[in-house]
Chains A and B, each alone.
Chain A
Amino acid sequence: EIVLTQSPGTLSVSPGERATLSCRASQSISSSYFAWYQQKPGQAPRLLIYGASSRATGIPDRFSGSGSGTDFTLTISRLEPEDFAVYYCQHYGSSPLFTFGPGTKVDIK
Chain B
Amino acid sequence: QVQLQESGPGLVKPSQTLSLTCTVSGGSISSGAHYWSWIRQHPGKGLEWIGYIHYSGNTYYNPSLKSRVTISIDTSKNQFSLELRSVTAADTAVFYCARGEVGYSSGWLDYWGQGTLVTVSS
Contacts and interface: CB of A to CB of B under 8 A. Distances in A.
Interface string B79-122: 00000000000000000101011100111111011110000000
Contacts of A43: 114-115
Contacts, number: 72
B60 A97 contact: yes
A67 interface: no
Contact of A98 (B49, B64, B106, B113): B49
Contacts of B39: 98
Interface residues of B, number: 27
Interface string B8-39: 00000000000000000000000000000101
B47 A97 contact: no
Which of A33, A43, A46, A47 has the largest count of B CB atoms less than 10 A from its CB? A47
B46 interface: yes
A102 B46 contact: yes
Interface in A82-109: 88, 90-93, 95-103
Contact of B108 (A50, A96, A99, A101): A50
Summarize B's interface: helix, strand, loop or mixed. Answer: strand
Contacts of B46: 88, 100-103
Given A47-B110, A88-B47, A102-B46, A96 B62 contact: yes
Given A44-B115, A103-B46, A96 B102 contact: no
Nearest to B6: A44
14 contacts: A32-B106, A35-B109, A37-B109, A43-B114, A44-B96, A44-B112, A44-B115, A45-B112, A50-B108, A90-B109, A93-B107, A95-B63, A97-B60, A101-B46
